[in-house]
Amino acid sequence: MTIPIDEMAAALVQARTDLAQIPPLRESHGLGSVEDAYAVQDAVNRHWLNHGRRLVGRKIGLTSPAVQAQMGIDQPDFGMLWADYFFTEGEVVDTRRFMQPKAELEVAFVMDKGLDDPQAPMAELIRRVAYAVPALEVVDTAIRDWNIKLVDTVADNASGGGFLLGLGARRLTDIDLRLCGGILSRNGSVVSRGLGVDCMGSPLNAMLWLARRMAELGQPLKEGDIVMSGAFGPMVPVRSGEVYLAEISGFSPIQVNFEDGRADA
């Protein structure tokens, strides 16, 4: 049976454009393999690039060994970071731009130089990373009610929504990413917590996996690329009117306000 890659890609583009949720692709279109799911993601990416969106980096998902075991996989997945969903510290994030957003506390990396070796050692990766920053990912999915399996999330940009970077950049030699702890608070109450070790043993391990994978695919990380390395703790639902404080040891805290933009209209 031929899998309708272009049809699924068109459905995701329409869903993201209209901010209208759709049924799981595994049910509506018979999407069954991870390879086909990435083919759908590629087709969606080509559409966005052809229509003027700018790619600024990559995101890594499913970095928790416990979640991987739960989904029956042995490696994470990846998606794209787009410039029009890049927020900075102090900026109010409009919840109307998302369908069913959730927040994840992460560390992000910015590349100083590209890396095109699919067997690159960790030492080479470290030499090519300019710095790390505290970050918050706004995870979102076009799949109705978060009813996702691996193929659904891969096809839909690894459930990528938007991302926010803090201003407190740190060199890799100045922090212990494996042992650093992070807490995410909503309106003053802690809602998620974790350690760097919860992200594939270290956020750098996740980063190395991605760098090698992208080089293998002929889409290597380039100078200036941003990489979201995966969550420290569980993702939590986001609603308008909420204020989040993201704190990771070794970094400056970042505060994020979520509002419905219509409130200011």
Structural domain includes residue 19: no
Check pLDDT > 80 for residue 69: no
- pLDDT reported for residue 265: 43
- Lookup: tokens for 79: 């998606």
Structural domain includes residue 4: no
* pLDDT tens readout for residues 113-162: 999 999 999 999 999 999 999 999 999 999 999 999 999 999 999 999 99
Give the separation between CA 238 and CA 259, rounded to whole angstroms: 10
- Lookup: tokens for 214: 């992208």
- pLDDT reported for residue 1: 62
H helical segments located in the chain: 5-18, 25-28, 34-50, 65-71, 122-128, 150-155, 203-216
CB atoms within 10 A of CB 22: 21
Structural domain includes residue 167: yes
Give the separation between CA 203 and CA 205, rounded to whole angstroms: 5
The mean per-residue pLDDT over the stretch 5-27 comes to 98
* pLDDT tens readout for residues 151-196: 999 999 999 999 999 988 999 999 999 999 999 999 999 999 999 9
* pLDDT tens readout for residues 84-113: 999 998 889 999 999 999 999 999 999 999
Q: How are the residues of the chain apportioned to helix, strand and coil, as percentages rounded to the nearest 5?
A: 35, 30, 35
Structural domain includes residue 33: no
Give the separation between CA 110 and CA 87, rounded to whole angstroms: 15
- pLDDT reported for residue 262: 65
- pLDDT reported for residue 89: 87
Q: Supply the range of the domain harboring residue 92.
A: 55-264
The total of structural domains in the chain comes to: 1
Structural domain includes residue 37: no
The whole-chain average pLDDT of the chain stands at 94
Structural domain includes residue 135: yes
Give the separation between CA 93 and CA 87, rounded to whole angstroms: 7
The H or E element containing residue 134 is: strand 129-139
Structural domain includes residue 130: yes
The CATH number assigned to the domain holding 125 equals: 3.90.850.10
Q: Which residue has the higher pLDDT, 163 or 1?
A: 163
- pLDDT reported for residue 157: 98
* pLDDT tens readout for residues 210-261: 999 999 999 999 999 999 999 998 899 999 999 999 999 999 999 999 999 7
- pLDDT reported for residue 72: 75
Selection from 235, 71, 64, 38 nearest residue 150 by Cα: 71
Structural domain includes residue 34: no
* pLDDT tens readout for residues 41-64: 999 999 999 999 999 999 999 998
